[in-house]
Amino acid sequence: MSPNSDWAASEAARRRTFAVISHPDAGKSTLTEALALHAQAITEAGAVHGKAGRRGVASDWMEMEKTRGISVTSAVLQFAHRGCVLNLLDTPGHADFSEDTYRVLAAVDCAVMLIDAAKGLEEQTRKLFDVCRHRGIPVITFVNKWDRPGREALELLDEIEREFRLKPTPLVWPVGDAGYLRGLIDVREPGRMLRYTRTPGGAHEAIEALVPAQRAALEDEADWSKAVEELDLLQVDGAVHDQEAFLTGRTTPVFFGAAISNIGVRLLLDAIVDLAPPPGPRELEAGGARAVDAPFSGLVFKVQANMDPAHRDRIAFMRVCSGIFERGMTVTRAASGKPFATKYAHSVFGQDRSMVDIAYPGDVVGLVNATALRVGDTLYADQAAVFPAMPTFAPEHFAVARPVDLSRSKQFRRGIAQLDEEGVVQVLVSDVRGDQAPVLAAVGPMQFDVVSARMAGEFSAAVKLEMLPYRLARSTDAAGAEALNRSRIVQGEALTRIRDKAQLALFPDRWQAGSFEREFPAARLDHLIAAHE
């Protein structure tokens, strides 16, 4: 093993690369900001909804995110804590942006699943957990908003175990019901309670005080007794943390707190360092795995343009999977076999960035103006590697896009091409419509709002969208496309997806698709992966 291999392995052991996942409005971006605050990466936390006098969160940098108070694109935050380097990937919670979230989950080693104390497990949380299970990503659970009225703690644990077939093992337990929080018990140090005093607006860390068990029993007698009794019951039931069971996806460590008040966040941050796995061998498309001490390899999981309005550039986000990345090195793009120079490489913190000279497995590097790179690309040095392709999901909403101002046609085409490369939408074309009227295909309708906002704001090419009546997409071939376009009884249309030249057959519903199969039984018609699967 070379000195560089030893160096890569030792630095990889210090990395924790994780995503925060949740249903919309569970407090994901707020938790992201609170974690960065407790790691002293920022000095003051913002509020997601941008109320008067408050900043927006660092991870929500798009204008649409600031005005709507939701995350519509993933973001990367890197900071240090207790001798480790944490790469936190904030993800969109809304189901309409599932593809972006799924791509991010291909780049992490662990996930923090955020649950609203009042709502419990919600639809998008279930979907994202299924992706984590499929990818073998261990999950830490944080029950948020315990400072507001909500459900019983034991009831929430039962729901997790029943629906996810996952044993919850609390490492933090609340003293007091949801909305009446008296403090938290660190299960690993059970002889005391942590009591919190909120800071104004939640802009700074909550003041934390240690209250001995004897004093807690006197001052909060009923709540303390109930908490201790519940913890005893959980231990009898076997709800005790086991690191191997966590890493193999059989258990989930559970924490309670309130991100907006910075309560319980430090305990979660410490647990990410202590429990989350460092980068390990990564599965290859042809079988086998790439070890972290192998020569450099990286996976492009996201492409984003115009993060900095002053420069109007394009960044490809690459997760370093093995070896050492050095700025300026020439690597190979696996898809083309061509060399790629990495002259402009940045470390990214939300919208802010700085030049990075070296990065290790687990780190995320922003490659600036990397126009040749696409989502899912593998980059490597010395020893060839190709990582598995990222899935493309079946769109369910379709709209024809046209420029409002025909004199801006060049900007229109450039903007649509950029959004397609980023994966904001899938872009479909046909000979009949031409490239001045592409069909935009989306998993959810909010993606069209992003297109409209970005085309007008970033590319100076406002668009008008004409919704199409289709709700179902199937994969076909040239013969199937020709058959669909000449059918006289089926309402549908065949188009070509720009990204991969795939032929897609669009139908209003499954009954129309069935009619097509009966009319042309020899035609190929295959299901696509649905975002809800």
- The C-alpha atoms of residue 188 and residue 231 are separated, in whole angstroms, by 12
* Residue 101 clears pLDDT 90, i.e. is over it: no
Summarize pLDDT for 260-298 with one digit per residue, the tens: 999 999 999 999 999 999 999 999 999 999 999 999 999
Q: What is the CATH number of the domain that holds 310?
A: 2.40.30.10
Q: What per-residue confidence (pLDDT) applies to 96?
A: 54
Residues 289 and 270 in one domain: no
Q: What per-residue confidence (pLDDT) applies to 129?
A: 87
Q: What per-residue confidence (pLDDT) applies to 423?
A: 82
Q: Give phi and psi for 63, each to the nearest 5.
A: -60, -40
Residues 197 and 318 in one domain: no
Count of residues making up the chain: 533
Mean pLDDT of the region 303-323 = 79
Which of 275, 291, 320 is a domain's end point?
275
Residues 291 and 262 in one domain: no
H helices of 2-119, in order, are 3-12, 28-38, 63-68, 98-105
8 A C-beta contact, residue 104 and residue 89:
yes
- The C-alpha atoms of residue 10 and residue 441 are separated, in whole angstroms, by 44
Which of 257, 275, 293 is a domain's end point?
275
* Residue 427 clears pLDDT 70, i.e. is over it: yes
Q: Is 94 annotated as a binding residue?
A: yes
Q: What per-residue confidence (pLDDT) applies to 55?
A: 43
Q: What per-residue confidence (pLDDT) applies to 64?
A: 46
Residues 66 and 128 in one domain: yes
The boundaries of the domain holding residue 30 are 20-78+109-275
* Residue 531 clears pLDDT 60, i.e. is over it: no
Q: Is 257 annotated as a binding residue?
A: no
Q: Is residue 13 part of a domain?
A: no
Residues 6 or more apart whose Cβ sits within 8 Å of residue 485:
493, 494
Give Cα 433 distance to the centre of its chain.
34
Q: What is the CATH number of the domain that holds 175?
A: 3.40.50.300
8 A C-beta contact, residue 337 and residue 290:
no
| DSSP, residue by residue, 139-178 | EEEEEE-TTS----HHHHHHHHHHHH--EEEESEEEES-T
End-to-end CA, the chain: 42
Residues 228 and 297 in one domain: no
Residues 501 and 467 in one domain: yes
Q: Is 311 annotated as a binding residue?
A: no
Residues 262 and 291 in one domain: no
Q: Which residue has the tokens 């496309």?
A: 481
Please state, for a pLDDT cut of 70, what percent of the chain lies above it: 87
Q: Is residue 91 part of a domain?
A: no
Mean pLDDT of the region 350-370 = 84
Residues 192 and 69 in one domain: yes
Q: What is the CATH number of the domain that holds 515?
A: 3.30.70.3280
Summarize pLDDT for 215-229 with one digit per residue, the tens: 999 999 999 999 999
* Residue 22 clears pLDDT 90, i.e. is over it: no
Mean pLDDT of the region 128-157 = 93
Domain count for the chain: 3
Residues 245 and 339 in one domain: no
Residues 331 and 235 in one domain: no
Q: Which of 10-14, 375-379, 447-451 has the lowest mean pLDDT?
A: 447-451
Residues 300 and 235 in one domain: no
Least Cα distance to 76 among 429, 396, 359, 290 occurs for: 359
Which of 275, 295, 322 is a domain's end point?
275
Token pair of 96 as six digits = 């309409």
Q: Is 92 annotated as a binding residue?
A: yes
Q: Is 91 annotated as a binding residue?
A: yes
Q: Is residue 373 part of a domain?
A: yes
| DSSP, residue by residue, 290-332 | E-TTSSPEEEEEEEEE-SSTTT--EEEEEEEEES-EETT-EEE
Q: Which residue has the higher pLDDT, 311 or 470?
A: 470
Q: Is residue 160 part of a domain?
A: yes
Q: Which residue has the tokens 């042309």?
A: 520
Least Cα distance to 249 among 164, 357, 329 occurs for: 164
Summarize pLDDT for 32-59 with one digit per residue, the tens: 888 888 877 665 544 333 333 334 444 4
Mean pLDDT of the region 444-452 = 87
Give whole-number Cα distances, 71 to 109, 148, 229, 239, in Å: 22, 23, 39, 34
Q: Is residue 194 part of a domain?
A: yes
Q: Is residue 10 part of a domain?
A: no
Q: Is residue 36 part of a domain?
A: yes
Q: Is residue 226 part of a domain?
A: yes
Mean pLDDT of the region 302-320 = 77
Most confident of 116-125, 315-324, 523-532: 315-324
Summarize pLDDT for 205-218 with one digit per residue, the tens: 888 999 999 999 99
Residues 240 and 317 in one domain: no
Summarize pLDDT for 184-210 with one digit per residue, the tens: 999 998 889 999 988 766 667 888 999
Mean pLDDT of the region 367-384 = 89
Most confident of 122-126, 244-248, 411-415: 244-248
Region of 438 on the Ramachandran plot (φ > 0 left; ψ -120 to 50 alpha; else beta): beta
